Amino acid sequence: MKRPRLTATYRMQFHRDFPFAAAEALVPYLAELGISHLYASPIFAAVPGSQHGYDVTDPNRINPELGGEDGFERLDAALRDYGLGLILDIVPNHMAASPHNPYWMDVLEFGRAAPAARLFDIDWSAGRDHGKILLPVLGEPLQASIEAGAIMLRADYEAGRLLVVTYGENGYPLSPASAAALLAAAAREEPGIRDAATIWAELATGRLDPSMIAKARATLGVTLPSGREALARAIAAADLRTVLEAQYWRLAWWRTAADDLNYRRFFNITDLIGVRVEDPDVFAATHALVLDLVRAGKVDGLRVDHIDGLLDPARYLDDLRTAVGDEVPIFVEKILERGETLRDWPIEGTTGYERLADINGLFIDEAGWQAFDADLRARNLLSGTPAERIAAAKRDVLQASLTTEIDALAHLAREGLGEAMRAADLTETALRRGVVALLVHCPVYRSYATADRHAPEDEAVWSRIAQAVARSEDPLTAAAASVLLDRLSAPQSESDRQFRLRFQQVSGPAMAKGFEDTEFYRNVTLLSANEVGGDIEQPWREPDDIHACYAARAAAEACDPIPLATHDTKRGPETRARLNALSFVPERWLDFLAGAETLCAPLRASVNGRTAPDDTEFRLIQQTLFAAWPISPERMEAYLTKALREARRHSSWETPDLVHEEACTRFARALIGAPEAADYRAALLALLDEIERPARLVSLAQTILQLTLPGTPDIYQGTEFPDYSLVDPDNRRPVDWNERQAMLMAAPRTKDGEGAKFDIVHRLLQARRTTPALIIGDYVPLACDPSPWRWFGFRRSLRGDHVTVVVPTRMSAQAAPILHRWSGGGTDLLSGRRIAGDGALHLAADWPFLVQVSEGA
């Protein structure tokens, strides 16, 4: 079948307040804007009220909250009518461990013999009660919950189950044996319920074929009122503690999850359980619907969420490629660290965080960054190398949130190391510290060894771990880590092989939670660098490095996405642009901070003997207000609460310090609106006025690069307008679609405010449809005179057609840049004006951009 040509994607986040019908109404707008593919968040059945769709409850059913199958069919028809394709986000790594998940409920009800048990990554031998699934869902310990009446038994006749219900919301199914016992007790009083008791007793013997399960549910569902009354009395008379102890699961206080969980989860989120997609039957069962949609031509590309969580990513992608064929692009969510290259997988590439970092880094001035770094060090607010700080953050996360994963790895390691442990005088405590050391010092998200083979790239990762451990750890821990590394590189037993595989599934969460979600909220050098895929050791990018990278991408005809924002980014494009512009004038920002410290001093509080916010938090607040202004107190408070907890310095998600948090949010609210902060706001507005022009130029220049560099521009919902958002949920606020549709119809558009960015996006998206050089043209760097402004330029060429792109990456006070001409005349795609072919090229200081298309040399 003929699929739409991929030239530009538009990411939309579906949820019950933005269903298929809302997207259907916007298809004409997307088509006119110049989009080729709608890029959809997961659309499969999810936990009711889900705002993102990654908590899938049934991968073989389209989410009824979004409009169900009928709504999807109407959206598909609209897309096809306008010639647009659909790229779909899929979630093979995990599902929701939720009562709304029928497969999960099946496992809770029937245990490891359940038909769905093989779907989930459960260690049935682990935990305090071997063979039971831990359910850490209680707000307090079990006995206290029972005494408070927070746990009860009831029958769900519609579902055909008996349940334990907690807090009046979540129900967990009783085993067939427990159900049979309660039904038998009721049958002694009401013989009409005896058949149901007999069928459930037969289920309890292990006869779990689908027809028998369906019969048992149906029999319970048609119980007469007299039988229901008898069953209610039997339930009321039952000993709750005895019933709970007889289940395939164990209710527990939520705080036990970090210590005693016996299933793989997504990061430290207990409500998301790992799926064993490495099992061919599980792959088939969980991919049936999405593959049907691909084969029917209703889905034209796939984004694979969290590829690093899978046991064997390479095998999974081989299977997926075989299933969808060669014509369907596959992109994986994979964060590459500096110097890391994507493995040789049968895919088109990643979702693009490294390209976002490339573009962002072009607009961070090295001297400005170094000035900010030096100021923090002089004030004792920053110490150590980035690698040391990341290691410390990862250690904090492992000890606070991932102890159950560490214990599982230590157990696997211990099984195969008896003699080696004795020979090296290693204790079990040292072995556990060795596991932590390997995770802490892993320089990338993971290696990709399988049980019986590995690549040179894996050896390089293990070597870097060994070097960091030798530099940083005490001798006993280093010795334990060395023994474990030997087993990683050359496994001797089945437990060694399992240790290798499981270690790789834990190193990713350790990096994500320690680096992205902890150190990024601790480091306040320049917040724009603290981005997914970012590099805080060298956040700036050298033009020569970028040219080499994108010349290689052009040669490979790369088509993977180039985003400036996603649902996971920490800040919007214009939020980062403002911050990056500060690096051009570091002394001005440091002067502002010095004045702000004086102006704000009366508004800061003392909490437990320390100032709140402390000096690091003060700088976080100042950069955030500057970058996102104007911002409401509610937005700022939500962001700041999350930032304080993620940083784990004075508060955390596990143990929030509400007094400290309130002092910090009260301070931020005062700065936004209190009369006593009027002088502060005047100073902030004066600085914003000074930075407005360079920040605006950074915003527009990065947009031009996104739309012209080799790859596919990926527009996150609403960001065709300037976007000053913060991390989720702030970046998932409703979009004013009417405003954007009105702008599309406006002519001419202004060159300031929303109009300038929107005009660039619209013009260049349209050009991508008619200018093949922007899609598959080669890439030649252009030499740019660095004085008085700094420039970044390149040419894309295909069969005699050329597109020349020039943008500034540093701006000075001088206002009339003059550029040497690199080619003959042509048409400027940004303005539509003809450009003569002779002499120097003058660019206005308020519009110093060139995207020129020409024919011939």
Residues 452-466, mean pLDDT to the nearest whole number: 97
Q: What is the dihedral of CA 464, 469, 470, 475, to 10 degrees?
A: -160
Dihedrals phi, psi of 243, to nearest 5 degrees: -60, -45
Specify the range with the lowest mean pLDDT, choosing from 26-35, 228-237, 420-429. 420-429
Q: Is the pLDDT of residue 857 over 50?
A: no
- What does each C-alpha distance from 157 to 211, 292, 561 come to in angstroms? 18, 34, 49
pLDDT over 70 percentage in the chain: 97
Q: Of the candidates 509, 282, 530, 250, which has an alpha carbon nearest to the alpha carbon of residue 386? A: 530
Among 411-415, 782-786, 823-827, the least confident range: 823-827
Residue 343 has pLDDT above 60, yes or no: yes
User: How does the average pLDDT of the chain come out, rounded?
Assistant: 94
pLDDT recorded at residue 817: 60
> Residue 92: what residue type?
P
Range from 377-386, 490-499, 595-604, 804-813 carrying the lowest mean pLDDT = 804-813
Least trusted range by pLDDT, from 457-471, 641-655, 746-760, 762-776: 746-760
> 151-156 and 265-266: which strand pairing?
unpaired
CA distance 434 to 463: 15
pTM for the predicted model, two decimal places: 0.96
Angle between helices 753-770 and 678-708 (to 10 degrees): 10
The token duo for 579 is 């911050």
Query: Which single residue is written with the structure tokens 């927070």?
Result: 150
Evaluate if residue 28 carries a pLDDT over 60. Answer: yes
User: Which residues sit opposite 790 in a β-bridge?
Assistant: 810
Q: On the CB side of 560, how many CA atoms lie within 13 Å of its CA?
A: 22
- Residue 133, phi then psi, degrees to nearest 5: -85, 130
Distance of CA 117 to the CA centre of its chain: 27
Query: What pLDDT is attached to residue 168?
Result: 66
Query: What is residue 525's three-state secondary structure?
Result: coil
From residue 846, how far is each of 35, 221, 640, 807 by CA, in Å? 28, 72, 34, 12
Length of the chain as a residue count: 857
**Whether the Cβ atoms of residue 99 and residue 219 lie closer than 8 Å to each other:** no
Tell me the pairing of strands 826-828 and 834-835: antiparallel
pLDDT of residue 420: 77
- Give, as one character, the DSSP assignment of residue 844: B
User: Given a cut of 80, is residue 696 above it in pLDDT?
Assistant: yes
Convert the pLDDT of each residue in 502-523 to its tens digit: 999 999 999 999 999 999 999 9
- DSSP states along 239-268: -HHHHHHTSSEEEEEGGGHHHH--B-EETT
- 330 and 304 in contact (C-beta within 8 Å)? yes
Q: Helix, strand, or coil here: 442?
A: coil
